[in-house]
Amino acid sequence: MARTPEQIKQALRQNGVTYKQWAEERGFYAEERGFYVGTVKKVIYGDLQGLRGVSHEIAVKLGLKEEPKEELG
């Protein structure tokens, strides 16, 4: 079951984890890949919907979206 943005923000606060820490630990804070912690914040706050690409990956890792059930081949 997917979590809400509020649940994610609360979990990060309770564990004392910043958005940057979360992003770095999961490989989403990489200058060479062309995205930053701002992308994580935008997904959490709903500025990015996580429909495809990196924002989708982030939404899945955060638990905002379910893991895809089927691979496109």
Residue 43 domain-assigned? yes
The answer to whether position 15 is within a domain reads yes
- State what percent of residues in the chain have pLDDT above 90: 51
> 52 in a domain, yes or no?
yes
pLDDT reported for residue 12: 95
Count of CB atoms situated within 10 Å of the CB of 43:
27
Q: Which domain holds residue 23?
A: 5-62
Gap between the Cα atoms of 59 and 65, Å rounded: 6
Calpha distance 43→45 (Å, rounded): 6
The answer to the question of residue 70 being in a domain is no
Q: pTM of the full predicted structure? A: 0.82
Which residue, chain included where needed, has tokens 């895809």? 68
Residue 45 within a domain:
yes
| pLDDT tens string 22-49 | 988 888 776 666 567 788 999 999 999 9
**Exposed/middle/buried for 60, CB within 10 Å: 0-12, 13-18, 19+?**
middle
Number of structural domains, the chain? 1
